[in-house]
Amino acid sequence: MASFTGEHTVEESWLRATEDGNLPEVAAHDSQFAAILALSDFERFVYVLTVLEGWTDRECATLLHVSPPLIEEARLHALQHFFKR
């Protein structure tokens, strides 16, 4: 997900936005970031852990005290959300 925009990666601009409190402004100019913010909190957390960070469904389920199938369902819903955009 590290696409480059000028000298900085997308993730760096997202990090700066969270530190500065400019999330809505960044989301208005970055469709990937806006899509992630549009997910429910649970789906966003599962997406970040399993897709971006590479955690297994079992690891994520253990952390969140839910079943692995619920993690899989949330991840699939998040991915479908991105493909519908």
> Cα(47)–Cα(51) distance, rounded to whole angstroms?
5
Cβ atoms of residues 30 and 49 within 8 Å: no
Q: How many domains does the chain have?
A: 2
**Is there a single domain that holds both residue 76 and residue 49?**
yes
In the prediction, which pLDDT does 11 show?
61
**Is there a single domain that holds both residue 51 and residue 33?**
no
**Proportion of the chain above pLDDT 90, given as a percent:** 46
**Is there a single domain that holds both residue 44 and residue 83?**
yes
**Is there a single domain that holds both residue 51 and residue 19?**
no
Say whether pTM exceeds 0.75: no
Q: pLDDT below 50 — which residues of the chain?
A: 1-10
Look up residue 10 and give its two tokens.
């997308």
**Domain extent at residue 52:** 40-85
DSSP 66: S
